[in-house]
Amino acid sequence: MPQKPPDGSPPPDDGALPPAALAELTERTFGAYVHVPYCAARCGYCDFNTYTAADLGGALISSVGLTTFVDIAVQEIRLARAVLGETDLPISTVFVGGGTPTLLSADDLARLLSALDAEFGLAANAEVTTEANPESVDPAQLEQLRAAGYTRVSFGMQSDRPHVLAALDRRHTPGRVSEVMRWARKAGFEQVSLDLIYGAPGESEADWAASLRAAVQLGPDHVSAYALTVEEGTKLSRRVRRGELLEPDDDLLADRYLLADEILTAAGLTNYEVSNWSRGPATRCRHNLGYWRGDHWWGFGPGAHSHVGGVRWWNVRHPAEYAARLAAQRSPAAAREELDASTRRVERVMLGVRLAEGLGVAELDEAGLGACADLARSGLIEPGALESGRVRLTRRGRLLTDTVVRALLPD
Amino acid sequence: MSAAPHLAPGADPAMIRNFCIIAHIDHGKSTLADRMLGVTGVVDARNMRAQYLDRMDIERERGITIKAQNVRLPWRAHDGQDYILHLIDTPGHVDFSYEVSRSLAACEGAVLLVDAAQGIEAQTLANLYLAIENDLTIIPVLNKIDLPAAQPEKYAEEIAAIIGCDPGDVLRVSGKTGQGVPELLNEIVRQVPAPVGNPAGPARAMIFDSVYDIYRGVITYVRVIDGTLTTRDRCLMMSTGASHETLEVGVISPDPHPTGSLSVGEVGYVIPGVKDVRQARVGDTVTTARNPATEMLGGYRDPLPMVYSGLYPIDGSEYPALREALDKLQLNDAALTYEPETSAALGFGFRCGFLGLLHLEIVRERLEREFNLTLISTAPNVVYRVVMEDLSEVTVTNPSDWPGGKIAEVYEPIVDAMLLLPTDFVGAVMELCQGRRGVLKGMDYLSADRVELKYTLPLGEIIFDFFDALKSRTRGYASLDYDQAGEQLADLVKVDILLQGETVDAFSAIVHKDKAYSYGVAMTTKLRELIPRQQFEVPIQAAIGSRIIARENIRAIRKDVLAKCYGGDITRKRKLLEKQKEGKKRMKTIGRVEVPQEAFIAALSTDTGKSTTSK
C-alpha cells in the first residue's frame, strides 16, 4: 500500500477552478508535471504511486498500461487547457517523473511533450526534464528525447556500491551510470542530474563517501541526495517491523548529510535547497523550485498533484480509474483543497525556508519574527542574512528544518 | 395512582427492620440485593437490570458499590404480618470504610454474606468487627451455594468460629437462583430488632449519604432516629445551624416516592433545596427549624484523607472546569478534599485528598468520564510530619512542601494491616511485607489452611502498588484490610528529579533512605526514554538535596527534516507540520525542555513503584 492521499473536498466533475485562482495565473510561472505510474519492479523502500505488471493484472501493456498511457494523458492535457481558459500560459518547466518514465518509448515521451506544446506552448528556454533509470535507457532513446525537446535528464543513480544497490532493489550496476551519463552528454543534454540515497541498510560511511565521490567524478550539473525514509506500507517497513532491519538512525543520517554537503561543495556543487545541489544558479532544477516558491503547475497522470492560485488538488491514484474518468469526459481529480490566506502563508514559510535564497521576513508574523533571534543564537539560521531581512538556514539548520519551521510558525 | 400500603407515611416502628449487607467484592452482594427486590415484588422480573442498586456506570463496570444506596422492601413474613424492610447497600472496598460506618450506624442488623466457595475475606472481617462494635445483630449467610465449588460445611465452621455461633445457624442462599432468599428475609424480621426512638421528641435524622442531582439539588439519604421530618417544616442542619425549605421527603422503592414525612425508624430521602453539599454534609444531623433538637447524633467518623495527589488538567484552560467538577463531586463524596496548588511543571491544579488509591482512581475516572476532563495525577503520597531542629513542625501533603532547613525528625503514618491468605503463601507475603518495612504483629490460623497475618506497615509503602504485588504473589487468594494506627519515626528523604538542572516538582517523591537510589535510577532511566530529544543536550538527574544520586543524558537532536517533497504533495507536508504543532501544544516546557504529557503520565504511573521495588 503506497502512501494515502490527504483528505480534501470533492472537486467539480469538469475540474473547473474558482475565478480567483485563475486570476492569479499570470502572476507566476506555470509548469507541467507528468506522472508515469509504471515500474518494471517495485523497490522495497518506495511508496510512490506506481504499478508493476503484476499489479495491473499481468501485463503493463494493457488497456490501462504503458501503450495507452500517453493517449489518456493527452486527454487530461486538453481538459487542463479547457479549465485554464484562453489565458496565454506558456509552460516554463516540464518534469516527467514516476514511476519509470523511460519505460515509455521515446516516441511516447515526445508525443507527450508535443501535446503540451500544442495546447499551451513551451516557453522559450523551457526546462524539460525526464527522470530515467540507468537500466532502462539506451543511446538512441536519449538522442531522440533530446531532439524532441527534452533539455534535462535526471538519473536514479542512488549509490555506487553494488551491495547498497541490491539493498535498495535497484537493478543497475554501478558502471552503468557513467555509461548512460556519457550517452546523455553525447546526445546533447547540457543538464544532467544524479539522484542519490543515503542510509540504506548495510551502507557504511565509506560506502556513502565512495558513492558521492563517484557521482561528482561524473561531472553532473545537479545532485539530489535523499535520506532513506521508512514509509509505512513498504516492504522495507515490514522488514523493519519484523526486526530484520534496523531503522536508519537519525544521528547517522545527519552525519551522512553533512558528509554529502562537504563532498558536493568541495566538488563545486552548491546547496540551493535542503536536499539539492547544483553546479550554478543556471543548473538548479527550476521545476522543483516552483514547488518551493508556490508557483502554478498542473500535475498530469494518476495520483499527480497540482497547484493553481491557492487551489491544490490531486488525481485518482489507480491508472484504470484515471483512464475511466477521462474516458467519461470527467476530471480525474480525486479531491482538492482551497487554501485560505493564512494557510497560504504557512505554506510559503514552510516551503520558502528550505531554499538557500531564504525567506523574506515580511512573511513572518510578530511571533515568528520574535523567534528569529533565538534561532540565530542557536545556530539554526544565519545571523547575517537575518540582518538583511532574510531567514536563511545554516548547515545545522537545514537538518533541523522542521524545528525552524515550527518556531517560525508558532501558535 | 394511589400509593401501595408500604409507601404510606407513618409506618409503625415495630414493623420496620433496617439492615445492611457486609460482603467482599464478588461475593454476590449486589446479586442478592437484586434478588430481594424481585422476591418482595418492588421490581418485576421484566424490569430487572443486573445490579439494580449499583447505579453509577463505574460501579456497574467494576462490579463494586461506591455510594451507599437504600431501598424499602415490603415483606409479608412467616408470621403473616406485613413488614417494612430497609436495605442499605454498603460499599465494598477498604477505601470506603467510612461510608460503611455510616451505613452501619443507620441499621440494627447486618447480613454477613460470604461466598461459599471462597470463605471470609479480610475486608469483610474488618467490617464485621465494626458491625459487632456497633451492636448490630449479625445474620451469617453463605452465598453461591449453587456453585459446584461451594464448600458450605467448611466455611460455615469458619464463620461460626469467628462470630461465635453454631455452624447450623449459618443460612445458605443463592442470589443467582433465589434459593433461600425468602427464608433470609424471614430471619431478618425475626432476629433484627425493630428501631426504637422517641416519636414525640424533636426530629433527629442522620444523613448517611448525600448525592447531587442537577434538577433537584442536593438529595440526602437519612435514617430517622426521633420524631418526624415533614415537608411542612423547614429542615435544619445541626452542624451549620442553617435552615432550608424542605422541598420533598420520601422513600426509595426502588424509585423515589414522595411521602410527605418520615418518622422514627424510617429510612428515606430529604431534599433540602440546597445547591451546595457543604450545606447538607454527610454525617450531619437533620432536625426541624420549628422544633429543633438540642443534641446532635454521634457515631460518625469524620473521613480523613489518607492519600494525596495533585490533579492537573492537561489543557490548562480546563482549570475552571476542573474546579467546578470537583465542587460537584464533593457533593457526592464527603471524603474528597481539594485545594488549589500550582506546579511549575504542570501549571494550575488541585492537591486532592483521598481515602485510598481506589478512591483516587474512581474520582479521577469520574472527572474524566462525567465531566469530560483530561487529567494528570501526580504520584500519590501520604501525610508526613516533619519536626525541624528548631522544634517547629511542618505537615507535608505534597513533596514540594518538604522543608529545606535542618530536619530533626520525620514521622510517617502507619496502619495496622490484616491479611487473610491460604497457608501456602505465608512465606511470600511475609517477604513482601518485610520489603515494605512491615513489622509482624501476629499470626492466627482461621482454619487448617487459612491464616490471618497482622502487620504494622507504613501507609506510604502500601498506597502505591501493594495490592498488585500481594495479588501477584498469592495468585489473587490474599485479601487485605487496614486501619490507621498513628505514626512512626522514619528515615525518609525527598528525592528530586532535575531536567537540565531544574527541579521538576511533579516528579519529586518522599522515599525511605534505602530506596532513594533505586527510585532515582528508575525515574531517570524512564524519563530518558520518555522525553524526546531537544535541540540541546538534556541531563536528567536525581538528587537528595544537592547530592546527585543518579544521572542520565538525552542527546541533542540533530535531524528532523523530511527530505522529500513527494511529487508536489505539499498538502501532506503541511498536514505533517500541523500534526507536529498539535503534538507540541500538548507539551509542557520545563526550563527550556519540552516534555510531552505522555511522559508525565507514564513517569507518574505506578510502574515506577514496581520497578523500584522489584530490585
Could you report the per-residue pLDDT of B98-137, keeping only the tens digit for each?
Answer: 667 778 889 999 999 999 998 888 778 878 888 888 899 9
- Note whether A287 and A20 are within 8 A (CB): no
Interface of A with B in 21-40 (CB under 8 A): 33, 35
CA dihedral B403→B405→B408→B410, nearest 10 degrees, is: 10
Cβ–Cβ below 8 Å for B559 and A288: no
Give the model's pLDDT for residue B347: 86
Average pLDDT over every residue of B24-45: 82
Q: Which residue of A has its CA nearest to B566?
A: A48
Does A305 reach chain B within 8 Å, measured CB to CB? yes
Contact B573 A350 (CB under 8 A): yes
Q: Is the pLDDT of residue B611 over 50?
A: no
- Chain A residues lying within 8 Å of B557, measured CB to CB: 250, 400, 403
H helix and E strand count, chain A: 16, 14
With CA atoms as reference, report the closest residue to A229 among B557, B560, B532. Answer: B560
CA distance A327 to A333: 14
> Residue B2: its pLDDT value, please?
44
CA A251 to chain centroid, in Å, comes to: 25
* pLDDT greater than 90 at residue B60: no
Asked if A227 has any chain B CB less than 8 Å from its own CB, the reply is yes
Work out the number of other CB atoms within 10 angstroms of the CB of residue B220: 25
Asked if B567 lies within 8 A of A405 by C-beta distance, the reply is no
pLDDT in tens, A46-102: 888 898 877 877 665 555 677 789 999 999 999 999 999 988 999 999 999 988 999
Q: Tell me the average pLDDT of chain A.
A: 93
Chain B interface, best mutation among A347, A353, A374, A411, by max B CB count within 10 A: A347
- Is B556 in CB contact (< 8 Å) with chain A? no
What cell numbers appear for B526 in the block?
524512564
The answer to which of A357-366, B222-231, B465-474 has the lowest mean pLDDT is: B465-474
B559: contact with A, CB 8 A cutoff: yes
Task: Report the pLDDT averaged over residues A276-297.
Answer: 96
Q: How close A363 comes to chain B (CA, Å)?
A: 16
| pLDDT for the residue numbered B47 | 61
Is the pLDDT reported for residue A334 higher than 80? yes
CA distance B552 to chain A (A): 19
Query: Strands A191-198 and A222-227: what pairing?
Result: parallel
Q: Quick check: B86 pLDDT over 70?
A: yes
Chain A residues with CB inside 8 Å of B572's CB? 3, 5-6
Of A55-64, A233-242, B5-14, least confident by mean pLDDT is A55-64
Peptide bond into B202 cis (omega under 30): no
Classify A351 as helix, strand or coil. helix
Indicate whether A45 pLDDT > 90: no
CA distance linking residue B191 with residue A240, whole number of Å: 72
For the stretch A26-41, pLDDT in tens is 999 999 999 999 998 8
Q: Grid coordinates standing for B218?
A: 442536593
Would you say the C-alpha torsion A339, A341, A342, A345 has a positive or negative sign? positive
Q: What is the pLDDT of residue A58?
A: 62
Of the candidates B33, B158, B153, B180, the residue with the CA atom closest to the CA atom of residue B92: B33
- Between B102 and A214, the more confident residue is A214
pLDDT of residue B66: 46
Residue B95 confidence class, pLDDT cut points 50, 70, 90: low
Span B546-584, pLDDT tens digits? 999 999 999 999 998 876 656 688 888 898 888 888 877
Q: Does A348 touch chain B (CB under 8 A)?
A: no
Residue B98 has a pLDDT of: 67
Query: Would an 8 Å CB–CB cutoff place A230 in contact with chain B?
Result: no
Express each pLDDT in B404-447 by its tens digit. 889 999 999 999 998 988 899 999 999 999 999 999 999 998 87
pLDDT category, B141, cuts 50, 70, 90? Answer: very high
Nearest CA in chain B to A34: B567
pLDDT at A186 (0 to 100): 97
Confidence of residue B48 (pLDDT cuts 50, 70, 90): low
String of b and e for B327-336 (b: at least 16 CB within 10 Å)?
Answer: ebbbbbbbbb
* pLDDT given at position B613: 28
Classify the phi-psi angles of A197: left when phi > 0, otherwise alpha if psi is within -120 to 50, otherwise beta: beta
Mean pLDDT value of segment A113-127: 96
For B390-413, the pLDDT digits (tens) are 999 999 988 988 998 899 999 999
Which pLDDT belongs to residue B525? 93
Q: Which of A344-358, B212-226, B321-335, B456-470 has the highest mean pLDDT?
A: A344-358
Q: Which of A6, A343, A402 is nearest residue B562 as measured by Cβ atoms?
A: A402
Q: B609 pLDDT exceeds 50? A: no
| C-alpha neighbours within 13 Å on the C-beta side of residue B491 | 5
Q: What is the mean pLDDT of chain B?
A: 86
Spatial separation of the C-alpha atoms in residues B484 and B503, rounded to whole Å: 33
Check B558 against A275: CB less than 8 A apart: no
Is the Cβ pair A291, B568 closer than 8 Å? yes
Q: Give me the percent of chain B exceeding a pLDDT of 70.
A: 90
Considering CB atoms only, which of A5, A251, A399 is closest to B561? A399
Q: Looking at A223-227, B5-9, B256-260, B426-430, which range is the least confident one?
A: B5-9
Q: Which of A5-19, B33-47, B493-507 has the highest mean pLDDT?
A: B493-507
Find out whether A155 and A192 touch, Cβ atoms under 8 Å.
Answer: yes
Question: Taking residues A270-278, what's their average pLDDT?
Answer: 96
Chain A neighbours among B 561-600 (CB < 8 Å)? 561-575, 577, 580-581, 584
CA distance B537 to chain A (A): 13
Chain A positions in Cβ-Cβ contact with residue B554 (cut-off 8 Å): none
Mean pLDDT of A206-228: 96
> Phi/psi at A177 (nearest 5 deg)?
-65, -40
Where residue B216 falls among pLDDT bands split at 50, 70, 90?
confident
Q: How far apart are CA A275 and CA A370, in angstroms?
A: 27
Asked if A37 and A102 count as a contact pair (C-beta separation under 8 A), the reply is: no
pLDDT surpassing 60 at residue B1: no
Tell me if chain B has a CB within 8 Å of the CB of A189.
Answer: no
**Interface test mutation site (partner A, options B553, B569, B579, B582, max chain A beta carbons within 10 A):** B569
Query: How far is residue B378 from each of residues A191, A247, B217, measured CA to CA in Å?
Result: 62, 35, 32
